[in-house]
Structure 1
């Protein structure tokens, strides 16, 4: 089960003249390399949910992506591309001497993990795709389906504010809050690491790459689709998704069908963060997958 832990090591990595801060828990050659969601979030919420894997013989590494957390926060919006973040991820892996890794990507970190896996397949032992997608246009259609459950009048209100650019209107924000509690985290009180990450969200990368909120995609990733290329990912892959996830089970199933060696787990009564919402179900699945493939390797 998750708990907040102090990192065993804190690393400063130079990435094209900028400081990127990484955190390491545990020791050994079996490395779980975590790529958190956002874009624009510090890694706290994912780091604190997975540092406990060090208790099971894994070294766990996470980092604050450029523009977030303790890393530098340049104002140049041209830096906010998935291709640059792939190269940043590789720079961190090499700088820390991680070798081949179990690459774990959550949400936006899953999109990043997919592009990393396609670019540097030789560096992976396994791939763990958590609450993520490989086909953004399909996700957009799924988000419309989730929004429609609010009712036609509410959807019409949301569309009006999106057209007018008045996304800070209280009635629009109220609708987004309902969607967040249905499809992002279904807990009444969100865990402290989640709240820390949200409170320190850099909306520069987020707005440039994704959009203004979790249910409206207008950024440079809105047409991103890697489904046609997933057949090239040869390593064993675990896909996890919450029953009520904003990045829906239908999106997860598309990835499973496109990957040559994948297994899929849907967590009941969970949405976008099963590691906090249903930890008693989540951790046995993750640990079983890692144990099987650690032994096989």
Structure 2
């Protein structure tokens, strides 16, 4: 199995609180893989195009551009950018498309959303797949500080000075972020087209409000978010995947596994934040095996 770009069988407009959200559906059947992309503020292209190939295994695959992203409406009211509103939006899309109980796959920010959704709507899920994500933001911030530290003390001091005086658009600061991105977001020399499409159309409104100005500085309304104390309430089978070099590190993944009742964890040794593109030959068998074992859960 290998990812490929394909046209959706359906492109569906869903009304969410007076706004238009666009969903994409591939294949058919009762076993639905429902995708939540990262960001916040990223079009779903990169996660949609890397997982639509699951139709080959008999799954219906559904993704959507979250409000503020891609082909969906892009309002500018910062009050809209909360995890609670995105949980409600996810449920609205699931019900509008009559998906029934789904296998929910959340990647990066989509994993935080997936955790929050699973705690709010456990009856809607057959299984939960948490990819390249975390459940404890303060712990993640400490892990990001460790990754930044590997750049060396002079570079760290430079970054901290720019962050303190608000000059993070400076070329030397941006150079450090670029290096971190190629180490810990995608280690491929040339990023795949779906990744570039998503990244080049990033809406920094939701992203800045919820997360911060870049992948390595958390200043938004999620910076204190921590669901580790509640993970024991998730009784579904959970698959956790992480890249060995992931910005949302293996330590973050292990922290989730230790607090979940029924979780398995797979670390991809040659990947960072996008194993489905960086290491597809290792990634897809793990996902297909997990889905297969939980296909007929009632």
Q: How would you bin the TM-score normalised by the shorter chain? A: over 0.9
Which residue number in structure 2 is paired with residue 45 of structure 1? 46
TM-score of the aligned structures, taking structure 1 as reference length: 0.99
Which residue number in structure 1 is paired with residue 187 of structure 2? 186
Matches within 5 A, 1:9-158: 9-158=10-159
Counterpart-to-counterpart distance in 2, 1:296 and 1:32: 14
Residues 134-171 of structure 1 deviation map (CA, whole Å, 9 limit, x = unaligned)? 00000000000000000000000000000010010000
Alignment length (residue pairs):
297
- The answer to whether structure 1 residue 164 and structure 2 residue 165 are counterparts is yes
Which residue number in structure 1 is paired with residue 3 of structure 2? 2
Which residue number in structure 1 is paired with residue 221 of structure 2? 220
CA shift for structure 1 position 295: 4.4
Counterpart-to-counterpart distance in 2, 1:160 and 1:46: 35
What stretches of structure 1 move > 4 A for 4+ residues in a row? none
Counterpart-to-counterpart distance in 1, 2:28 and 2:206: 32
Unaligned runs of 5+ in 2: none
TM-score of the aligned structures, taking structure 2 as reference length: 0.99
Contact 2:126 2:297 in 1 (8 A): no
Counterpart-to-counterpart distance in 2, 1:30 and 1:195: 30
Contact 2:30 2:60 in 1 (8 A): yes
Which residue number in structure 2 is paired with residue 251 of structure 1? 252
Residues 107-142 of structure 1 deviation map (CA, whole Å, 9 limit, x = unaligned)? 000000000000000000000000000000000000
Residues 186-220 of structure 1 deviation map (CA, whole Å, 9 limit, x = unaligned)? 00000000000011000000000000000000000
Counterpart-to-counterpart distance in 2, 1:220 and 1:92: 24
Which residue number in structure 2 is paired with residue 195 of structure 1? 196
Over aligned residues, Cα RMSD in angstroms? 0.5
